[in-house]
Amino acid sequence: MNILERYHAMEYGPAPEARTEADAWLAGRDFGKALFIDGGWKAAASGKTFGTSEPSSGKLLAKISDAGAADIDAAVAAATKALPKWSASSGYQRAKVLYAIGRSMQRHQRLFAVLETIDNGKPIRESRDIDVPLAIRHFIHHAGWAQALDKDFPGHKGVGVVGQIIPWNFPLLMLAWKIAPALAAGCTVVLKPAEFTPLTAILFAEICERAGVPKGVVNIVQGGPEAGVAIVNHPGIQKIAFTGSSEVGKIIRKATAGSGKKLSLELGGKSAFIVFEDADLDSAVEGLVDGIWFNQGQVCCAGSRLLVQEGIADALIAKVKVRMSRLRVGSPLDKNTDIGPLVDATQLDRVKGLVAEGARQGAVCWQPDAVLPSSGYYHLPTLATGVSPANILAQEEVFGPVLATMTFRNTEEAVELANNTRYGLAASVWSENINLTLHVAPQLKAGVVWVNGTNMFDAACGFGGYRESGFGREGGRNGTNMFDAACGFGGYRESGFGREGGREGMFEYLSAKLPLGPVIKPTAASAQPVEQSDGGAIDRTAKLFIGGKQVRPDGNYSLAIATAKGKLAGEVGLGSRKDIRDAVAAARACKAWPEATAYNRSQVLYYLAENLSGRAGEFTARLTELTGANAKAAREEVEQSIERLFLYAGLADKYEGRVHQPPARAVTLALHEPVGVLGIVAQDSAPLLGLISLIAPALAMGNTVVAVPSEKYPLLATDLYQVIQYSDVPAGAINIVTGRTAELAGVLAKHDDVDGLWLFADADTCAKAEADSVGNLKRVWTGNGRSFDWASDEAAGDALLRRAVEVKNVWVPYGD
């Protein structure tokens, strides 16, 4: 065959990566003593081991120490002992250690890459060119954060001992994402790698020895479910950082409820890949290859749902099939391989089962004509067409090389299909019309939107609320797979909550001193009737405030409210589950408030403050009557409430997103978006100031609110109805349901159309609400049974605004 014939044939010969050094490392190590605890190597206390196998052949690689509860106890004890000295060290000292880790990893990066490919099955090009360099980048990047900590995060310090659990699809990279920010913040770490892929974590522990990491600062414990449960439930751990499935994330959310542990969950995704009829189809196809077939589709932000406009559907599908037929499936150590094996036989069986079920439900599943290797856990790239929105392939995270395709007619239908998922991680939008892409991007319920590209992020980016990182091959005309930007990545909905990387990721490992007050005691229902007040006034029961109107409670029951002297001050409606449902529906239906400009929202809040000021005397009298506070103290609370409204009115158009300019040819728009429908449950102390201090920042950022006011002093909230009504607040933006705190908080926590819950109540109510929130993994912020000093400076400003927004990053590449 001559050169021209070879060129037209485009046949690839084998290009294997040498594995000699990796095999020598495997042969020379005692994996029966692979637990890295307090700077030394230990066997599991039980003596148990588990096997890790090579996905390309199924052959056993090593028998690894299997940590149990006793080993986790030892690791936590080591981390606790090391914490005071490490957290007290200067940022410069921590930075030097982080930099030393990064430099030492650079010297061994080829060994890391080969081990990762052998243990995980991903093609060597990916582990060599993407995973390992980016893991190194994280440690060097966070060395800078360590040194800048005091300046950039005043009043914050490391949260303490951190328990971290990582998955098998990006073993080394996930380790870097977890450990680097924790060490930069001054935390100590107990990390558990996935059972399928423990090898690079063991090599990393060796790096920690050589890089001078103090004993006990980093502890790495391989193990199965027993080790994971022990980490989650350990009382000596102050934060849990978990990356994995949404199902396990919900279990962890429930297990940590009421513990006071800080929690970040990076869970699943079902990302939409939207192609409009004016898109560059060849670029879209290359982006699609990177979006779904990178790492065999074992990526949480994989573009696993292709939404294509009807007019170009046939042409695009034809191009996709041609491109799929040229993907090379084979040995992951071959540099020409595009698709390697799945991680394990169980994962292969799961993918096969989902494809079969999708076909049974009506999908047409096409695969290229290719021969799979005779051994290993390989699955051909699969294209499913004729997929209905309810098909299992459109709704469930397959976590394999499977693409589900649907068509749309217009922009509105594209957005509706894209948002038709319980996840909210990422999306890609492809069009040559930049106006169209920037019209669609803000409407998508996803933490990151890539315009004419996919998988753009790096160490300077915050990444969270999803399961695994997604990095693809270099390719695509408009900059697919850029690894250079100081911009955030995070998920909505059941993709979890939390951030990794950049400034947002640092907050996950830091804590600030909160102005907490006394323990809140449960409110007991009154056993005795409230003494009737003197006089012949006509009795009036305050109604609920839903959808801009005063409405009777569904059950037509009322709650008697006493004055400080025990006499009847009035009655309020006793809200129920049905009333909360109505209030949530009204809040969800209110589009005018979240779509209003920040300037318009600020004007309404200013007007609300102005109208409250005009009735300051009435509210002062009501506070005195209900709480027994003297006139001066009551007047001060009213004035602080007015001031708080003014504060957030002023910040509504100033707490803005950012425009990042990464080194790549792109700009990234970091948009602050409202969380959505926020449930707010206020405490009894400072009943007016506390309620307004919670509602005001939520409204300032464009959220709609369902508020449950103080159970003991709800008349202060019902007196606000008229102030709200004549302050130009759109109907449904503020809804107020009076009643029993514990009961109504529980309803809000379970409601899957509530996106966030801020709760200040007794410890049992807070813990139950956190546990009940797992239905849609809503963002829950509680005082853990403690009251909040709403008069303090810490109770106002950025701290609450940060909780009131989701950060969406829209990547816009430029140039040819």
Please determine, for residue 321, whether its predicted confidence score (pLDDT) is greater than 70.
Answer: yes
User: In which band, very low, low, confident or very high, does the pLDDT at 765 lie, cut at 50, 70 and 90?
Assistant: very high
pLDDT score at 433: 95
- Residue 171, pLDDT above cutoff 80: yes
Task: Indicate the range of 37-51, 117-131, 447-461, 721-735 predicted with least confidence.
Answer: 447-461
Nearest to 299 by CA among 200, 168, 139, 404: 168
The mean per-residue pLDDT over the stretch 764-774 comes to: 96
Indicate if the pLDDT at residue 349 is higher than 80. yes
Q: Which two tokens stand for residue 599?
A: 């300037």
Output 476 or 398, whichever has higher pLDDT: 398
- Contact assessment for residue 174 and residue 116, using Cβ atoms and an 8 Å cutoff: no
Place of tokens 């060097």: 140
Reported as a pLDDT band with limits 50, 70 and 90, residue 525 is: low
Nearest Cα to Cα of residue 107 among 70, 126, 132: 132
Rounded mean pLDDT of 357-375? 95
Question: For 662-731, what is the HEC assignment?
Answer: CCCCEEEEEEEEECCEEEEECCCCCHHHHHHHHHHHHHHCCCEEEEECCCCCCHHHHCHHHHHHCCCCCC
* pLDDT at site 656: 85
- Give the span between the Cα atoms of 49 and 34, in whole angstroms: 10
Contacts of 18 (CB under 8 A, 6+ apart): 114
Place 505 in a pLDDT band, splitting at 50, 70 and 90: confident
Q: What is the rounded CA–CA span in Å between residue 590 and residue 730?
A: 7
Residue 530 has pLDDT above 80, yes or no: no
Lowest mean pLDDT among 88-97, 168-177, 504-513, 533-542: 533-542
Number of H helices, E strands in the chain: 29, 38
What is the model's pLDDT at position 663?
62
Res. 798 pLDDT band, cuts 50 70 90: confident
Provide φ and ψ at 243, rounded to 5°. Answer: -125, 125
**What are the φ and ψ backbone dihedral angles of 37, each rounded to 5 degrees?**
-130, 130
The answer to whether residues 463 and 457 touch, using CB atoms and an 8 Å cutoff, is yes
The percent of residues above 70 in pLDDT, for the chain, comes to 93
Smallest CA-to-CA distance from 558 within 566, 547, 570 is with: 570
Residue 6 pLDDT > 90, yes or no?
no
pTM of the complete model = 0.92
Burial of 409 per CB tally in 10 Å (0-12, 13-18, 19+): exposed
Model pLDDT, residue 661: 75
Tokens linked to 603: 């004007």
- For the stretch 577-597, pLDDT in tens is 999 999 999 999 999 999 999
Q: How confident is the model at residue 809 (pLDDT cuts 50, 70, 90)?
A: confident
pLDDT band for position 531 (50/70/90)?
A: low
Q: Look at residue 13 in the predicted model and tell me its pLDDT.
A: 79
What is the CB neighbour count within 10 angstroms for residue 617? 10
Q: What is the pLDDT of residues 682-715, one digit of tens each?
A: 999 999 999 999 999 999 999 999 999 999 999 9
Q: Does the pLDDT at position 534 exceed 70? A: no
* Mean of pLDDT values over 207-226: 96
Q: How confident is the model at residue 484 (pLDDT cuts 50, 70, 90)?
A: very low
DSSP state of 44: -
Can you tell me the distance from the alpha carbon of 251 to that of 498, in angstroms, rounded to the nearest whole number?
16
pLDDT computed for residue 457 by the predictor: 65
809 against 490, higher pLDDT: 809
The whole-angstrom separation of Cα 188 and Cα 629 is 46
Report the C-alpha gap between 277 and 264 in whole angstroms.
39
Catalytic residues: 266, 300
- Say what the pLDDT of residue 466 is: 28
* CA separation for the pair 183, 509 (Å, rounded): 9
- pLDDT band, residue 9 (cuts 50/70/90): confident
- Give whole-number Cα distances, 574 to 545, 553, 754, 782, in Å: 12, 6, 21, 23
- Show the CA angle centred on residue 263, arms to residues 693 and 676, nearest 5°: 45
Mean pLDDT of the chain: 91
Q: Map residue 225 onto helix, strand or coil.
A: helix
195 secondary structure, DSSP code? T
Q: At residue 539, does pLDDT exceed 70? A: no
Output the CA torsion 257→259→261→262 (10° steps): 40
CA–CA distance from 387 to each of 351, 358, 397, 404, 423 (Å)? 16, 8, 15, 6, 18
User: Over the stretch 447-482, which tens digit does the pLDDT of each residue have?
Assistant: 889 999 988 765 554 443 322 222 233 333 333 443
With 0-12 / 13-18 / 19 or more C-beta atoms within 10 angstroms meaning exposed / middle / buried, residue 534 is exposed
Strands 658-660 and 666-674, how do they pair?
A: antiparallel
Q: What is the 3-state secondary structure (H, E, C) of 568-620?
A: EEEEEECCCHHHHHHHHHHHHHCCHHHHCCHHHHHHHHHHHHHHHHHCHHHHH
* Largest Cα–Cα separation, the chain: 110
Whether 498 has a pLDDT exceeding 90, the answer reads: no
d(CA 583, CA 560): 22
21 versus 662: which is more confidently predicted?
21
Are 135 and 105 in contact by the 8 Å Cβ rule? The answer is yes
